[in-house]
């Protein structure tokens, strides 16, 4: 059976309150409400800073057993270190608590900056370091430095589970068969990024799952998706499912509150 996950990229947005979120809903119950309407979400806070195990555990507690989280890799790794010399940074990220998600840990998303050009040696070196199981996550996490305090590090994986990775590229140089072939060799999914012409749109299978990020239909981060556009995306998802691929779709058009409504509408079409 293929798996289809549809959700939002983050969920703590003031513009959603009183619109998608019912008036008076407590902020601490917003994730719970999201999880009642869709079956997945991207964790965005992990991109901006190292989280804590207690934060990830709260996400687990606030969602049903069959909910799944995609975790966005830290920008210190992708945007500041730009994939170079990242052993310690990667260990810190992995030690910060992602293992607390347990069976709710979905793909790890690595979003590259628009200025990062394709460099085979650089990208291959990074992909080579990515853990493929939770036991490997734990092993790398033990290499963390003092940016993750010993009492706040999570470096144990009671059960060994597979880990998937995907990469969202934003420089035109990645529209190259060598770059796409490299992701395929390392079994890393190439993100299908819908970004109103802002970044490359690449729809290529490089792993056993497809991962799409919908940043806005006509205006980046802002515009909603029309009914006909959602119909087209539903058809695309069904096509990927027909190829035996798991599918993950996340709406990132959150600035005007359209993301959760579009996610629910797409799920309704796929039902």
Confidence of residue 150 (pLDDT cuts 50, 70, 90): confident
The answer on pLDDT for 99 being more than 90 is yes
d(CA 262, CA 27) in angstroms, rounded, equals 21
Query: Read out DSSP for 80-103?
Result: ISTTSS-HHHHHHHHHTSGGGGGG
The answer on pLDDT for 151 being more than 90 is no
Over residues 25-35, mean pLDDT:
97
| pLDDT for res 43 | 98
- The answer to which of 139-143, 168-172, 255-259 has the lowest mean pLDDT is 255-259
Over residues 243-250, mean pLDDT:
98
Yes or no: say if 89 and 53 are a contact pair by the CB < 8 Å rule.
Answer: no
Token pair for 191: 């993100």
Q: What domains, with CATH codes, occur in the chain? A: 4-270 (3.20.20.410)
The answer on pLDDT for 143 being more than 90 is yes
Extract long-range pairs of 174-181: CB within 8 Å, 24+ residues apart. Answer: 174/118, 174/200, 174/202, 175/200, 175/202, 176/118, 178/118, 178/120, 179/118, 179/120, 179/123, 180/204, 180/206
Render pLDDT for 173-209 as a digit per residue (tens, 0 to 9). Answer: 999 999 999 999 999 999 999 999 999 999 999 999 9
Q: Provide, rounded to the nearest whole percent, the portion of the chain with pLDDT above 90.
A: 96
| pLDDT for res 97 | 97
Render pLDDT for 77-87 as a digit per residue (tens, 0 to 9). Answer: 999 999 999 99
| pLDDT for res 234 | 98
């Amino acid at each position: 059976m293929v798996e289809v996950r549809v959700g939002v990229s983050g969920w703590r947005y003031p513009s959603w309150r009183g619109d998608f979120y019912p008036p008076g809903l407590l902020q601490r119950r917003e994730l719970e409400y999201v999880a009642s309407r869709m079956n997945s979400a991207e964790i965005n806070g992990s991109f901006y800073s190292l989280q804590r195990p207690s934060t990830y555990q709260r996400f687990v507690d606030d969602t049903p057993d069959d909910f799944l989280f995609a975790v966005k890799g830290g920008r210190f790794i992708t945007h500041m270190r730009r994939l170079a010399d990242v052993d310690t940074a990667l260990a810190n990220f992995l030690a910060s608590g992602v293992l607390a998600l347990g069976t709710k840990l979905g793909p790890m998303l690595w979003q590259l900056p628009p200025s990062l050009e394709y460099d085979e040696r650089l990208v291959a070196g990074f992909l080579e370091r990515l853990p493929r199981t939770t036991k490997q996550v734990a092993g790398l996490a033990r290499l963390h430095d003092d940016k993750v305090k010993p009492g706040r590090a999570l470096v144990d994986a009671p059960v060994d589970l597979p880990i998937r990775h995907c990469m969202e590229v934003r420089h035109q140089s990645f529209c190259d068969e060598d770059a796409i072939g490299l992701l395929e060799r390392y079994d890393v999914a190439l993100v299908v990024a819908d970004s109103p012409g802002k970044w490359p749109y690449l729809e290529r299978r490089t792993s056993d799952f497809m991962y799409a990020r919908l940043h806005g239909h006509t205006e980046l981060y802002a515009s909603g998706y029309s009914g006909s556009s959602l119909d087209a995306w539903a058809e695309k998802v069904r096509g990927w499912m027909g190829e035996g691929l798991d599918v993950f779709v996340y709406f990132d058009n959150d600035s005007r509150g359209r993301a959760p409504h579009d996610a629910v509408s797409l799920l309704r079409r796929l039902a």
